Structure formats: structure tokens, C-alpha cells
Chain A
């Protein structure tokens, strides 16, 4: 149990394009979902935390207008990178959690490459 599906796994697109990444909890209801960014050989950087039906909480330094997060249901959250530029190229990973004391379960990540 506790499977999280993240789609797409890889995106290559031109600068200025907006890219949407989906994160779905397949076999449980996720009260909270998290979006991370990971640079090569580096740790996870939490971008934002989202709860179903409410606005996401962004970490300091993360532009909310750049990285739009929608958590429309207990099984789906989306991250949209608006007007992406080469510096937005990274590995984006989502995770989902049932309750605060439970582990986070991760998707397999999305490799975003902006040309």
C-alpha cells in the first residue's frame, strides 16, 4: 500500500513554456502533499506543503506565482511551473501523507529540462 504516482517522469521543453506535474496517491487519501526540488547530488529542498482544499504553504524564497500548486482532492495535487526558464531545470519530487505522524510516501520524481 501507500503508492504515489507522479507524472510525467520527464519533460523537455522550450523556455517560456508552462509545465504541469501531477501527483496522485493511488491507494490512500492524502491529507497533506509536499513538493520538493532536488539538485544533483544534493538534499531535498521543500518548496511547499499543500492540504486538500486550501492554499499551499510555500517555503521562504519560493515564488508562489512561479510555482502554482493546486490540491483539488485528497488524492491529487498538481505543481505548475509557469513560464519555465533554464534555471528551473531540476528534479521535482512530490510526496503524500495520510496524517502528521505517518511517513511521507514519494512519487518517482519528474526530471524537468528547460532548453
Chain B
């Protein structure tokens, strides 16, 4: 079965320090991976995706993620955290059900709450 794990419920980091939000996945075949961010009482915003190509993917707001096939990971990173990065971060992998057609959905992690302290 396909799944996504975000092993940390919460990550705390000081402003200016690098941050990492972890994500591992389990899927047969080539994964399509996504990161989204959710600010309080808002919908989710797309940050970046990996489908194919370079393992290091750059996204919005200075975030990047590294696809590691051997470790089945897709950790989100940022070299220097901002207080405004404090939010809930979700990792997702696309369902590979080939019969789903347009209904292919995302399998979501449980989210990681990131707190950046001034």
C-alpha cells in the first residue's frame, strides 16, 4: 500500500538556522512527490514537486527538497528559516492507481508543525 510518513509532529528551529522537515514514502514504481504549506485557517499552498529529473527540487519561498530514492525520502529544506515560515507542512505522494484516470488522488502525510523562533 502506498503511504507517506512525516515522522515529526513538530519541528522547532531558531530564525536564521537551516530547517529540515522530513518525509518518507512507500510506493511501488516512480513516485510523484509534493510539498504543501498551510497557514492558520487557510487552505494549502503548493511549494514544490518532484516528478522526474534533478533530485534537488527548488520551490517557492526559498524552499527546496531532495529526492532520495535509496532512502525513499523527500525532505523539505531551507538554508535560513524565517519566523514567517512557521506553519503546517504536508508531504504527499500521488496515487499510482493506473485505473484511476483523472481521479488520481494524493496520499497525504499527517503534517509537521514548524515553529521558527525569533
Please tell me if A32 contacts chain B, counting CB pairs below 8 Å. yes
Which label, helix, strand, loop or mixed, suits the secondary structure of the B interface? mixed
If A93-B43, A95-B44, A108-B43 touch, whether A44 touches B103 (CB-CB below 8 Å) is no
Taking CB atoms and an 8 Å cut-off, the chain B residues in 59-118 that contact chain A are: 90, 94, 101-106, 108-111, 113
Please tell me if B45 contacts chain A, counting CB pairs below 8 Å. yes
- Complex Cα distance, B102 from A49, in Å, reads 9
Closest B residue, CB atoms, query A54? B102
Which label, helix, strand, loop or mixed, suits the secondary structure of the A interface? strand
Please tell me if B49 contacts chain A, counting CB pairs below 8 Å. yes
Are B102 and A32 in touch, CB under 8 angstroms? yes
B51, B90, B104: residue with the most chain A Cβ atoms closer than 10 Å: B104
Which single member of A4, A100, A103 contacts B43 (CB below 8 Å)? A4
Are B104 and A109 in touch, CB under 8 angstroms? no
- Complex Cα distance, B101 from A100, in Å, reads 8
Closest B residue, CB atoms, query A46? B105
Please tell me if B34 contacts chain A, counting CB pairs below 8 Å. yes
Q: Per-position contact with B for A57-96: 1 when CB-CB < 8 Å, else 0?
A: 1000000000000000000000000000000000101110
- Complex Cα distance, B68 from A72, in Å, reads 41
If A43-B111, A101-B32 touch, whether A106 touches B44 (CB-CB below 8 Å) is yes
Which single member of B36, B51, B105 contacts A34 (CB below 8 Å)? B105
Q: What are 12 sample pairs from A and B whose C-beta atoms fall under 8 A apart?
A: A6-B43, A41-B113, A44-B44, A46-B105, A91-B41, A93-B44, A94-B43, A100-B102, A100-B104, A101-B51, A107-B43, A108-B42
Please give the residue numbers on chain A whose beta carbons come within 8 Å of chain B beta carbons, in ascending order.
Answer: 2, 4, 6, 31-32, 34, 41-44, 46, 49, 51, 57, 91, 93-95, 100-101, 103-109, 111
Q: Which 9 A-B pairs give the minimum distances between C-beta atoms?
A: A106-B43, A106-B44, A103-B46, A43-B110, A100-B104, A108-B43, A49-B103, A109-B43, A32-B102
